[in-house]
Structure formats: C-alpha cells, structure tokens
Amino acid sequence: MAEIIKIFLFTLLTLCSQTYALTTDEIKNNLIKQSKTEVSYIQKKHLSAANRILESKGYIIMTKNELFYVQKEPFEQCMVISTDRILEVIDGDVSVLTRENNGEVFEISSLLMKIFSFQGNYSDYFSTDVTGDLNNWQVSLIPLDKTMKNIFSKILLKGGKELLKIEIYDTNSDLTELFLSDYRYKDIKDVSGVLKYRAK
C-alpha cells in the first residue's frame, strides 16, 4: 500500500514553485484540466537489492474530490484516496486508512488532495527546480519535510500539456518509474463497483 501512496502523491503533484523562465501559473494553465480525467499507466519498480524490475499496469481516474488508482496487471486491486480516507480493495477485501488509525499516511494523502486542488503552500515539503519549456518541462522535487526525507531522496516530474512521467527515487536506492499515456476526458470507466465499499 505504501508504494501506491507514493505514486498517488506524485501523480497529483503538479506543480508547486518554479525558477525563472517558467512560472507556476504558466505550467498550471498549460496543463489540460477537466473535472474528470482517466489515464493509463505502466509502473516499473527497479529493486536495487534484488537487481530486478517489477512491472504493473492499470489506469487512474481523477475527479475533483477523489482519485482512483486501479491496477489490472499482474493482479487486480484498487485504491481510492479522498479527503477523509484511503480505501484499498483487493479481491473484495477492504482496508481503510484514516487520521485516527494511521495519521502519517493520512497526512500524506491530505497533502496530495490539497496539491491536486492547488491549495496551500508546499514549500515546507519540497524544494523545486524547473527546466525546459511549456512543451517539454521537468520538475525536480527535493524533500525538506522530515517524513518525506525518510521515504524519498528525489522525485522528477516530466511533461508538457499533460504529466507524462514520474520518477521516484527512494532512500533505499530503489527507483519507481510511472509512465502515463492515453489521457481521456470522455467515456470514462465506471467505478461504481468500488464506491459500494465506502460505507464499510
């Protein structure tokens, strides 16, 4: 679950502060924004200690108040992040994280949702360096917050009008690459089957 939380955080992290040549507003305004978005992903986890790569595939659905991270391969699972909980469903088994039962993870998810809505100041969490132009930019995020420092050494975001790739460098020397493609703004998949677990 922790790995998916990391991916959520940086799929939604678009973007905090910038250096000269590109401004925050320029990149935010350049990104295609819709009330509901679906995007396919391929995730590659490079395990340095085992010298192997774990690959998974699926899709992400982003709405105003929730994000659905749906893995289809190599097995099916779904995670939903909202403002008050993190819900994970695997083969009908449900796990729920809240501020009360896992405060640290909930804090990360809350930050994630604030970033998605572009509210608040994130300079306490990351220093930011931006290179490129509106059609081909890269954002380097270096953790400042103690909690983030214990998990990440660096995060790179790459894109243009859409976020296309995320690279997460863990403190244990592992690397997670997330490739995003085929953005869709209409005919988005039905997630009502997951929503029934909210009340549990």
Q: What is the pLDDT of residues 67-105, one digit of tens each?
A: 888 999 998 888 888 777 788 888 778 888 777 887 777
- The sign of the torsion formed by the CA atoms of 98, 103, 104, 110 equals positive
Structure tokens at 12: 């939604």
Which CATH number covers residue 76? 2.50.20.10
Q: How many domains does the chain have?
A: 1
Is residue 200 situated within a structural domain? no
Is residue 148 situated within a structural domain? yes
Domain assignment of residue 96, given as a range: 2-195
Is residue 40 situated within a structural domain? yes
Is residue 174 situated within a structural domain? yes
Is residue 187 situated within a structural domain? yes
Q: Name residue 76's amino acid.
A: E
Is residue 26 situated within a structural domain? yes
Tell me what the mean pLDDT of segment 164-188 comes to.
90
Region of 182 on the Ramachandran plot (φ > 0 left; ψ -120 to 50 alpha; else beta): left
Q: Determine the pLDDT at residue 109.
A: 67
Is residue 149 situated within a structural domain? yes
Mean pLDDT of the chain: 77
Edge-to-edge strands of the sheet including 67-73?
A: 93-97, 86-90, 77-81, 67-73, 52-62, 37-47, 175-184, 163-170, 152-159, 136-143, 126-133
The model's pTM is: 0.79
Greater model confidence, 6 or 75: 75
